Structure 1
Amino acid sequence: MTAVVPPPRSAEGLLRPRRLTRAEDGERLRSLLWVAGPGWRMISSAVLGGGIGERAWVLNAQVSHGYRRTDPDRHLAALAAAAGVRGPGVGLMTAADVSAYAHARDGGAEAVVTSGIDVRGWAASAEEGGGPRAPGTINIVVAVPAALTDAALVNAVATATEAKVQALLEAGYDCSGTPTDAVCVAARAPSPGDEPCTFAGPRSLWGARLARAVHRAVLHATSAR
């Protein structure tokens, strides 16, 4: 059975994830579920709901160390269904304890970050292949209350990643991340007559706000370890 813990009363803003718990293979595992509702477009590198499209929820699920399932998309879909969400969404996973997440906001942009950095390194490494390795994963979920073009959504992923690396270096980690990091950026779907933002780089309005929110959240999540 999945237990749902409501968000704290002090939580405000767009990103208000609920904490879920479940028993699986003799372990007590946790998840974060953000039900964004209709009217959102998301871009993600997630195994479930990845790519660009309309999405209504984001699930960030903790899995056991040494995860061996070869169908993580079906696993995440089953967890989302058990949590009561329907329709298209995004499913992320990590071996880290997601209940210890960090949240930051800047000018309306918000970021929630879960961090496991036991396995880390630089992206341009001499090491090749081998597939994903647990338990190191940094998952970043960002919400922006503005409409972004497809190109700006891609730009936002790059900006969030740059901010992540900046925070890791400031936290004292000589790395660009872990081999299994994932990101999801959610933006409002454009209303009739809206003109979506065409840029989300670090010097654009929403890119700058997104970068500062991600930077603070990653810095807090990694410095607390």
Structure 2
Amino acid sequence: MLSVFRKLFSKQKVEETQEELMKKFLVAGLGNIGPKYHNTRHNIGFRVLDSLAKEESLSFETKKLGDLTTYKHKGRTILLLKPNTYMNLSGKAIRYWLEKEKVPLENLLVITDDINLPFGTIRLKTKGSAGGHNGLKDIEAQLNTSKYSRFRFGVGDKFNKGRQVDYVLGEWNDDEERTMPERIEKGVALIKSFATAGIANTMNTFNGK
């Protein structure tokens, strides 16, 4: 009788642990560290997470491979990560924290800039190609899959041929900065929805908005 009880208790504990893990999320904003990159288009991932942290009075702490803070929201635990590996090695930090915190792959959200979308356009996808983005290339290589959710923030493509790098590493213009607060507010709401309402509902609510 005692052995049966132990088996039932053990099974219940496993089920509880799995349920707890499904309520844990990792949101990684891509960017480059250092003051000179702070206000660049390539750093929109950092900027969205910084805005969420400020709104919720959270403080980032420098840990292994990145700056990290934890956000509790409606029964969910959301880890916010800003990799300090520079953009081209973003995947290393993401893989480390996914494994360390045992976050399910379907609960990973990566925030990145996208030159193929008009400025301020928000698009959430469950998979896709790297599209020439070095940060996404490294994530795909480190995770050995392209099937992870990514929140693409449009930065536009107003650059001459061969000047793409200068453009994404350039700072926002005055018109973009005037519109930015409302766009970032949408991005913060998207993160909260991703963790609570699910990917499908969040895509329906925010894509193209």
TM above 0.5, yes or no, is no
* Structure with greater proportional helix content: 2
Question: TM-score normalised to the size of structure 2?
Answer: 0.29
TM-score by length of 1: 0.28
Which one has a larger percent strand, Structure 1 or Structure 2? 1
